[in-house]
């Protein structure tokens, strides 16, 4: 499958994006740890989250799926049964790493596998701390890679200083900590997304944050509750860039997650000169609301340091914004990009260069010289959903045709992306909001922030 894109008219749209991927994974896993049924709505029907659902079912959890976007997880208070075969985590790093925390405490052996991309990604980062807690884990691949074998058992709380900021590692340890004796403390070198902490609190378990340390006491039971997943700001990112960088564009995104550990993309776009407004309307464990944006001429910026974990999944989209901006954009301290679904630094550099952009690659980032006219090119996604979608957006700005090959991977996080892309390509204003969602807009405003006024 491929996307064929040509230069489009400025985007004018009101839309919603599918449920948040990180939160959908956690809703299934933490729902399974509760003491009863949890109805999860706006669940992301992406392949990654379906991998989590299949794995939890194999562990004996009853999960109903009465209609698309709704799942009912019947919590087992954290008691699972040994699976009769491998747990296939597909393309999903979040599935394998968070599950390893839960499995470290189970009195049985599990074997976790994944696709070719996941089978290249590092697992040492969870093996080291979970082994310190008392589990036995081994990665049987060549370089601490899948298959991962987890021999779970009784765990003891530890204090662990993470060598780099990772929400997946932090979450694995907090989930293991729920089963451990005493207290488990994770020290973060920089803040990473805090969905696990928020969802634990929502289910009535209180992790304690003190500065950059998060602690949890073992032996607590999660209380079952229904939960609505907000839209995924990482999926919204592609349309945000498409609108922000094009004078004349206007975009309204409804019911999108606005957790401050995820909204770094808004701060970066504002620094680049984007005109936008963020309106927080709901706070139900997670903050959510509206983003409105009007197109402008952007300028380059620097993205580095503590901001990196907050924008890590948005860098492919932001790199496209950088190519469209005047001046140079520098991204540093982002070596984690090399071990995502693909080596995203190399993938971005290859594709931008093919479109006529000057890019210098560093081990931990890149420098992008903005302002050149993008030319259409024949590109590949490198099997990475976010590379596929980011370069579909680049194609909307390029002279001539852009072809992105190997885009099936988009189904991991945004199965309806192509549908929205087709509406954008048609060049007419459109509205893609279910009527019940639109009714909530403006219902109550908890916080509103306008930057570079609209
Ligand atoms: C995620 C955390 C991030 C992110 C990934 C999802 C999560 O990874 O890149 O897409 O759901 O916790 P790291 O924790 O490895 O940085």
* Alpha-carbon span 354 to 348, nearest angstrom: 10
Reference 314, options 281, 285, 291; nearest CA is 291
93 CA to centre of ligand 1 in angstroms:
8
168 lines ligand 1 (CB under 6 A): yes
266 CA to centre of ligand 1 in angstroms:
18
Q: Quick one: DSSP state of residue 237?
A: H
Give the pLDDT of residue 140: 83
Give the pLDDT of residue 375: 98
DSSP for 86-155, written as a single string:
-EE-TT-HHHHHHHHHHHTTSSSEEEEE--TTGGGS--HHHHHHHHHTT-EEEE-STTS-SSEEEE----
34 lines ligand 1 (CB under 6 A): no
* Alpha-carbon span 148 to 111, nearest angstrom: 6
22 lines ligand 1 (CB under 6 A): yes
Contact predicate 281/441, CB 8 Å: yes
Q: Which CATH number does the domain 2-19+230-448 belong to among 3.40.50.300, 3.65.10.10, 2.40.50.100, 2.40.30.200?
A: 3.65.10.10
Cα dist from 292 to 53, 252, 278, 392, whole Å:
33, 4, 7, 21
Give the pLDDT of residue 329: 99
Indicate which residue of 115, 194, 254, 313 is catalytic.
313
28 lines ligand 1 (CB under 6 A): no
Pocket test for ligand 1, best of 47, 91, 94 (most atoms within 8 A of CB): 94
CATH number of 21-228: 3.65.10.10
The residue behind tokens 């995924």 is 232
Atom of ligand 1 nearest to the CA of 26: 11
Q: Where in the chain is the domain with CATH 3.65.10.10?
A: 2-19+230-448, 21-228
Strand (E) or helix (H) holding 320: helix 315-324
Atom of ligand 1 nearest to the CA of 164: 16
Report the DSSP pairing between strands 12-16 and 250-257.
parallel
138 CA to centre of ligand 1 in angstroms:
21
Reference 402, options 449, 351, 367; nearest CA is 351
* Alpha-carbon span 85 to 364, nearest angstrom: 38
**Known catalytic residue: 384?**
no
- For 436, other C-beta atoms within 10 Å of its C-beta total 7
Q: Which two three-digit tokens encode residue 218?
A: 């073992």
94 lines ligand 1 (CB under 6 A): yes
Strand (E) or helix (H) holding 281: strand 275-284
DSSP for 170-196, written as a single string:
HHHHHHHHHHSBSEEEEE-SS----HH
Atom of ligand 1 nearest to the CA of 196: 12
DSSP for 433-449, written as a single string:
--HHHHTTTTS--SEEE
Contact predicate 354/377, CB 8 Å: yes
* Alpha-carbon span 277 to 233, nearest angstrom: 14
Reference 449, options 306, 292, 299; nearest CA is 292
Which tens digit of pLDDT belongs to each residue from 47-58? 999 999 999 999
Pocket test for ligand 1, best of 48, 193, 286, 339 (most atoms within 8 A of CB): 193
318: left (phi over 0), alpha (psi -120 to 50) or beta: alpha
Q: Whose CA is nearest to atom 10 of ligand 1?
A: 313
Contact predicate 261/191, CB 8 Å: yes
Tell me if the pTM is above 0.95: yes
150 CA to centre of ligand 1 in angstroms:
21
Q: Count the residues in the chain.
A: 454
Contact predicate 174/216, CB 8 Å: yes
Q: Whose CA is nearest to atom 9 of ligand 1?
A: 313
Pocket test for ligand 1, best of 93, 121, 175 (most atoms within 8 A of CB): 93
Question: Based on the number of CB atoms within 10 Å of its own CB, is 41 exposed (0-12), middle (13-18) or buried (19 or more)?
Answer: middle
271 CA to centre of ligand 1 in angstroms:
24
* Alpha-carbon span 102 to 175, nearest angstrom: 6
313 lines ligand 1 (CB under 6 A): yes
DSSP for 366-391, written as a single string:
EEEE--SPPB--EEE-TT-HHHHHHH
Give the pLDDT of residue 437: 61
211 CA to centre of ligand 1 in angstroms:
21
DSSP for 13-80, written as a single string:
EEEE-PBPHHHHHHHHHHHHHBSSEEEEES---SHHHHHHHHHHHHTT-EEEEEETTEEEEE--TT--
359 lines ligand 1 (CB under 6 A): no
Q: Whose CA is nearest to atom 16 of ligand 1?
A: 166
14 lines ligand 1 (CB under 6 A): no
Report the DSSP pairing between strands 213-217 and 208-210.
antiparallel
Please, what's the largest Cα pairwise distance for the chain? 62
Pocket test for ligand 1, best of 19, 22, 195 (most atoms within 8 A of CB): 22
Q: Which residues of the chain have pLDDT under 70?
A: 436-443
Report the DSSP pairing between strands 402-405 and 378-380.
parallel
Atom of ligand 1 nearest to the CA of 21: 11
312 lines ligand 1 (CB under 6 A): yes
């Amino acid at each position: 499958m491929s996307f064929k894109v040509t230069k489009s008219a400025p985007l004018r749209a009101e839309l919603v994006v599918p449920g948040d991927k990180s939160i959908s994974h956690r809703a299934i896993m933490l729902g399974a740890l509760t003491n009863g049924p949890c109805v999860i709505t706006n669940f992301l029907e992406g392949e990654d989250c379906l991998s989590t659902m299949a794995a939890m079912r194999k562990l004996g959890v009853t999960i109903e799926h009465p209609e698309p976007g709704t799942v009912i997880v019947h919590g087992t208070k954290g008691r699972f049964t040994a699976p009769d075969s491998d747990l296939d985590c597909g393309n999903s790093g979040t599935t394998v790493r968070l599950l390893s925390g839960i499995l470290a405490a189970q009195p049985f052996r599990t074997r976790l596998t994944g696709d070719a991309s996941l089978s290249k990604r590092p697992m040492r980062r969870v093996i080291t701390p979970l082994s310190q807690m008392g589990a036995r884990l081994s990665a049987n691949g060549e370089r601490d890679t899948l298959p991962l074998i987890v021999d779970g058992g009784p765990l003891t709380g530890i204090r662990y200083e993470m060598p780099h900021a990772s929400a997946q590692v932090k979450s694995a340890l907090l989930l293991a900590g729920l089963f451990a004796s005493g207290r488990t403390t994770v020290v973060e070198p920089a803040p990473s997304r805090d969905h696990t902490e928020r969802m634990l609190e929502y289910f009535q378990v209180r992790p304690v944050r003190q500065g950059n340390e998060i602690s949890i006491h073992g032996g607590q039971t999660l209380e079952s509750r229904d939960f609505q997943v907000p839209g995924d700001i990482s999926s919204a990112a592609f349309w945000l860039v498409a609108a922000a960088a094009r004078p004349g564009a206007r975009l309204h995104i409804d019911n999108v997650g606005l957790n401050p550990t995820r909204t770094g993309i808004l701060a970066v776009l504002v620094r680049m000169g984007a005109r936008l407004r963020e309106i927080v309307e709901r706070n139900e464990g997670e903050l959510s609301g509206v983003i409105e944006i009007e197109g402008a001429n952007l300028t380059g910026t620097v993205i580095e340091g503590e901001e990196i974990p907050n924008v890590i999944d948005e860098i492919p989209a932001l790199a496209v914004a950088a190519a469209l901006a005047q001046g140079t954009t520098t991204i540093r301290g982002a070596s984690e990009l090399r071990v995502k679904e693909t080596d995203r630094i190399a993938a971005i550099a290859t594709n931008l260069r093919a479109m006529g952009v000057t890019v210098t690659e560093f081990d931990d980032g890149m420098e992008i010289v903005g302002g050149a006219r993008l030319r259409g090119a024949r590109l590949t996604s490198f099997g990475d959903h976010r590379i596929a979608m980011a370069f579909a957006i680049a194609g909307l700005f390029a002279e001539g045709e852009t072809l992105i090959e190997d885009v099936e991977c988009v189904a991991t996080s945004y199965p309806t992306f192509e549908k929205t892309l087709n509406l954008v390509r048609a060049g007419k204003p459109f509205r893609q909001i279910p009527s019940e969602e639109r009714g909530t807009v403006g219902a109550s405003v908890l916080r509103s922030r306008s930057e570079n006024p609209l």
